[in-house]
Amino acid sequence: MMQVCDRISNRHWSLKARAEELRRAGWSYNAIKAELSVAKSTVSLWCRHIQLTDAQYARLYSRRDSSIKGIKIIQKAFWNKRCEAFKEGVELGNTLQNDPIFIAGLMLYWAEGTKSIKAAVINSDPDIIKLAVKWFHKFFNRPIDSMSCSLNLHSGQNEDETKQYWSEITGIPLKNFGKTFIKPEGSGYKKNILYRGTAQIRQKGEGSYYLLVKVLGCISGFLYNVTGKTPNIEDWMKEFPYA
């Protein structure tokens, strides 16, 4: 037992000595942590007594500033991509303002669709869900097999049969169905059981997030034509910060 403790103790002091050596050489705590596979708090405890030179501090801050600049460049690129998708949506909303199917789907989405994370519509009415699928497919060139579906069911409903029903309604393949949420008995849920449950269709895969931003642009374009309100992506980002 003593030999095991000695080995652990020796390893501890060996790591500590190496950490101190690296810190004196001007390494950051994060770099030492990665090199030695120890917790950052441990590195800090071992090395807090070591004072770096002004030149070493300057190098560390220079690297940090470069990292921050890199992050800001990436954030700017994502923001520009959002703005481009939003602009495309505004233009689409202007172009199709007299298309009754487009406007019907747009009003449906405005009322029932999600406004953050990904484009999705949830409802228990099969005609509404069918319209949403057709709308995404026709006006946003989204293949039906790129969509996914998940169900909310009451206890006692047949999950397999209900999935088959919604798959036939939407055309979404069964393999694209996510985990079903089963509302348990006696948990305070309403008792007026919806026999077919509630379906949520959502977009998945590459570009699904920017599709949401494009849809929000479509709504803004429609509002501009009706009310004269200037489309502004920042208004949506404030109200729905994850959009």
Q: Mind listing the pLDDT tens digit for each residue in 110-158?
A: 998 988 878 999 999 999 999 999 999 999 999 998 899 999 988 878 8
67 assigned to some structural domain = no
94 assigned to some structural domain = no
Q: Mind listing the pLDDT tens digit for each residue in 68-100?
A: 666 677 777 888 888 899 999 999 988 898 999
Give me the domain span that covers residue 21.
2-52
168 assigned to some structural domain = no
Q: How far apart are CA 165 and CA 226, in angstroms?
A: 38
The count of structural domains within the chain is: 1
| Exposure b/e, 199-231, CB count within 10 A at least 16 = b | bbbbbeeeebbbbbbbbbbbbbbbbbeeeeeeb
Residue ranges of alpha helices (H) inside the chain are 2-24, 29-36, 40-47, 54-95, 100-112, 126-140, 159-170, 208-227, 233-239
Structure tokens at 68: 């921050």
61 assigned to some structural domain = no
Give the global pTM: 0.65
16 assigned to some structural domain = yes
